[in-house]
């Protein structure tokens, strides 16, 4: 199934954003580690969170987390300290996403985790037991989820954990998010320079409510940037957010979108300012990169984005995916060092009827959808259901808020999806 996305006559919306997936997944682990009697309020209904909830509430010993990379990493660490024998697997793509760094670290700390098929990749067999803990070193340039997975179980290790991060540390806001949430559950850590120390201690259960997702907000910011006349309000966002992706508000200010904070969330307005070229290091906000790449080229704003090394190991190789799909629209991007992506205005002949592939990647679908606001014939998105991973109601909201017109293409039939059908 494909969706053809077209621009509406006007864009006016007040949007209830999904809960932060990053906070949900960490809170679920911490809730379980604290043996909390409280249910987490405002949990996301995205795929990642659903598989986490199912696994944590299940009496099974075999878990299929589908395409949920966060769940794979967090649950691998969690199960390694739960007494018993467990297996964890996922989609074919998941079976090709590396996990060796985390497995090696866990085994060095007293765990026993084995590969069931290919060395360095899921599926895994986990023999859970009490973990000795201790002192290890880890490259700072790896996915922050490996680091967060280790940190969350660290206080329950016999000797705690001293984690030395080597080289440049990427995605620091996500590590800070983990440590801040751990502190809310009663565990304190020390982060000095390149070393994080977590002493043995107990978590304490607390009532917890998840805030709205700043990553999801970025797609609405993109719509605002690409529209001529629009009014958009995003509910449930806070100025002093724990989420690193809240930095997107300041960055979008350079693309002409101003942010006003209210007691309900934020209101977006055009500020009349657009930079001539955008240079930015996304090492701390990698999940925003796709949105800014697509938005910049459609605004004809050259860019040089660095700090993208983690994009190579996401749901797909996002750097290559962006280059491939934007070429279909007539834009030639270049990359270097597996971490830099740039565009200096280079163009090519666009395809007559491009279809944007999504590569089983939710962010590819949502990053490209706003292009319909500037492309005369709209844009066609393949496998749009991938948004369920983080934002299941994305298409429903764009229609119900009249921000985008969505048409369904099934086989050779083209029929408009009415709000009542989609909702």
Q: What stretch of H or E contains 256? A: none
**CB neighbour burial string for 242-265, b if at least 16 within 10 angstroms, e if fewer:** bbbbbbbbebbbbbbbbbeeeeeb
Are the C-beta atoms of residues 183 and 152 closer than 8 Å to each other? no
Which residues have CB under 8 Å from 49's CB, separation 6+?
19, 21, 24, 25, 28, 43
Are the C-beta atoms of residues 286 and 311 closer than 8 Å to each other? yes
Which residues are paired to 123 by β-bridges? none
- Quote the CA–CA distance of 166 and 155 in Å, as a whole number: 22
334-336 sheet: strands from edge to edge: 278-281, 303-306, 340-343, 334-336
Which residues have CB under 8 Å from 342's CB, separation 6+?
302, 303, 304, 305, 333, 334, 335
Report the C-alpha dihedral over residues 382, 385, 390, 392, rounded to 10 degrees: 140
Of 287, 335, 361, 383, catalytic: 287
Count of C-beta atoms within a 10 Å radius of residue 62: 12
Are the C-beta atoms of residues 196 and 165 closer than 8 Å to each other? yes
Whether 60 is catalytic is: no
Which residues have CB under 8 Å from 61's CB, separation 6+?
84, 85, 86, 87
Count of C-beta atoms within a 10 Å radius of residue 282: 25
Mode of pairing for the β-strands spanning 62-64 and 405-410: unpaired
Q: Which residues are part of the catalytic machinery?
A: 287
């Amino acid at each position: 199934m494909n969706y053809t996305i077209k621009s509406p006559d006007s864009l006016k919306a007040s949007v209830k954003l999904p809960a932060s997936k990053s906070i949900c997944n960490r809170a679920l682990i911490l809730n379980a580690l604290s043996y909390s009697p409280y249910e987490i309020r405002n949990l996301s209904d995205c795929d990642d969170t659903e598989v986490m909830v199912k696994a944590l509430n299940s009496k099974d010993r075999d878990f299929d987390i589908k395409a949920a990379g966060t769940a794979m990493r967090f649950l691998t660490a969690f199960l390694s300290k739960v007494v018993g024998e467990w297996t964890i697997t996922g989609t074919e793509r998941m079976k090709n996403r590396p996990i060796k760094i985390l497995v090696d670290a866990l085994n060095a700390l007293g765990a026993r985790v084995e590969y069931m098929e290919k060395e360095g990749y899921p599926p895994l067999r986990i023999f859970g037991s009490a973990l000795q803990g201790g002192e290890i070193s880890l490259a700072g340039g790896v996915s922050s989820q490996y680091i967060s997975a280790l940190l969350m179980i660290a206080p329950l290790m016999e000797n705690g954990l001293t984690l030395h991060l080597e080289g440049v540390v990427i995605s620091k806001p996500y590590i800070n998010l983990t440590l801040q949430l751990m502190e809310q559950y009663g565990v304190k850590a020390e982060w000095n320079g390149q070393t994080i120390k977590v002493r043995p201690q107990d978590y304490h259960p607390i009532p917890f409510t998840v805030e709205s997702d700043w990553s999801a907000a970025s797609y609405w910011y993109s719509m605002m940037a690409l529209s001529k006349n629009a009014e958009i309000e995003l509910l449930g966002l806070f100025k002093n957010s724990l989420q690193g992706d809240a930095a997107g508000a300041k960055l979008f200010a350079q693309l002409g979108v101003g942010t006003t904070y209210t007691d309900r969330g934020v209101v977006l307005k055009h500020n009349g300012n657009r930079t001539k070229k955008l240079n930015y290091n996304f090492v701390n906000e990698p999940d925003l990169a796709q949105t800014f790449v697509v938005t910049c080229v459609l605004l004809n704003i050259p860019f040089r984005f660095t700090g993208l090394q983690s994009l190579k190991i996401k749901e797909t190789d996002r750097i290559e995916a962006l280059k491939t799909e934007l070429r279909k629209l007539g834009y030639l991007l270049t990359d270097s060092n597996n971490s830099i992506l740039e565009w200096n205005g280079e163009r090519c002949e666009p395809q007559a009827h491009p279809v944007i592939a999504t590569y089983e990647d939710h962010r590819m679908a949502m990053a490209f959808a706003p292009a319909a606001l500037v492309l005369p014939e709209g844009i066609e998105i393949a496998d749009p259901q991938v948004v369920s991973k983080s934002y299941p109601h994305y298409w429903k909201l764009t229609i119900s808020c009249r921000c985008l017109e969505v048409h369904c293409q099934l086989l050779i039939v083209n029929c408009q999806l009415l709000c009542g059908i989609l909702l």
